[in-house]
Amino acid sequence: MKLKNLLYSAGLLCLVALLVFLALGQDEEEPFLWSPEFGRMKADLVLHGVEYSRQSRGEDAVWDVDAEVARFYQDRDVMEFDRLNVVLKSDSNPVRIVADKGVYRLKQGDMEVSRNVRVYSSEGYVLETDSLRYVKDKDLVATDDRVLLLDDNGSRLEGDGFVYHLKEHRLVMKNPVALIPEEETGV
């Protein structure tokens, strides 16, 4: 019986030593088991290899999402996506958005994408930024991050964020700087 108690105590001591070692050797920047990052894992539903279409009544899909991982949080009414590809099918010119992360707020209809965001238009324009949000109530797309807009001719438009009003097709960019290739200026 003493041997069994001794082995049990030794095992418990090893477990405590391992946890102390992990906690002390923990990099402050790196998440650990009891960090807020651990709470993100507690989704109500986790799906891998997701294909999701948002429909409008009596119409075709408004947008399609492909993502490596999707997490649904029922209490917040939110879907989070990892490595997503979104195709917006408004008007006759579809737009494709690629990003590392995405959040869709189901009740509001708002969506936000972040990290390595690229937007590709059917006309050949490419927009690069760190984050982009769609606000349904205001019918606009916006970012406060640095923006680079490229066209297929090599022209560049850079700015410190923008607001795009969807109904008016009006872009307002903060601190815009245009870089146009010499062959395009006619000089």
Q: For the chain, what are the domain ranges?
A: 1-42, 43-185
Instruction: Let me know if domain 43-185 sits in CATH 1.10.3720.10.
Output: no
Q: What is the pLDDT of residues 70-115, one digit of tens each?
A: 898 988 889 899 999 988 776 667 888 999 999 999 888 888 999 9
Q: Can you give the three-state secondary structure of the chain, one letter per residue?
A: CHHHHHHHHHHHHHHHHHHHHHHHCCCCCCCCCCCHHHHHCCCCEEEEEEEEEEECCCCCEEEEEEEEEEEEECCCCEEEEEEEEEEECCCCCCEEEEEEEEEEECCCCEEEEEEEEEEEECCCCEEEEEEEEEECCCCEEEECCCEEEECCCCCEEEECCEEEECCCCEEEECCCEEECCHHHHCC
Statement: residue 63 has pLDDT above 90: no
Its pTM stands at 0.69
